[in-house]
Copies of this chain bind each other. A is one copy, B any other.
Amino acid sequence: MSRSKSQPSPETPETPRRAADRIRDTAFDLFYKEGIRAIGVEEIVSRAGVTKPSLYRAYESKDELIAAYLRDYDQRFRQRFEAPGAEHPDDPKAHLLAYLDYLSKRASSDGYRGCGLTNAVIEYPDPAHPAHQVGVESKQALRERLGEMCRAMGAYDPAELADGLLLLIEGSYVSGQAFGQGGPARVLGDTARRLIEASLSRPTET
């Protein structure tokens, strides 16, 4: 009975999965929580319960594993970002604010580690490094997506509002790590609302 079920079934992701998958998942967790440079390949494979050659058959180098981790992170981020859109079809403002409220809560709670992509860009300032490149590409895509949404919500200067919101988002990512619970990210939602309201009409002359 214990083994009546076919073990090699590829659609039953049991706890002890394929080595490559375990490596990917373990690397994701460790890279994100501890930082990329802080984690060696030895620690990844030992925590994943496999050995180094298994890692190097699945990935050409640590740098490629890093890039794969960041592409994974980017994909998951886009899901988190777009998910609230399902409940607010054709309402980009409500969609965006729903994500910001969610992020606000997450980023002002204890143990938050920010955005893996932002962290990677900081850990690898060299623009030639794959980690830097994947991070930057994701941020550029986010900037464009925000511009799109701000245009759709009728902002007076969509690109400017998008950049302002991007500053608030990135600020939440990093200050969430520095302050933990009760950090500045708690005001993200209200601040974004205020900024959006003030950016829909023509700017008032000071």
Contacting pair A188 B174 (CB below 8 A): no
Contacting pair A190 B160 (CB below 8 A): yes
How many copies of the shown chain assemble into the complex? Answer: 2
Contacting pair A167 B193 (CB below 8 A): no
A residues 158-206 near B (Cβ < 8 Å) are 160, 162-164, 166-175, 177-179, 183-188, 190-191, 193-195, 197-199, 203-204, 206
Partner of A206, one of B136, B173, B193: B193
Is A154's beta carbon under 8 Å from chain B?
no
Please give the residue numbers on chain A whose beta carbons come within 8 Å of chain B beta carbons, in ascending order.
Answer: 33-35, 37-38, 113-114, 118-119, 121-126, 135-136, 139-140, 143, 160, 162-164, 166-175, 177-179, 183-188, 190-191, 193-195, 197-199, 203-204, 206
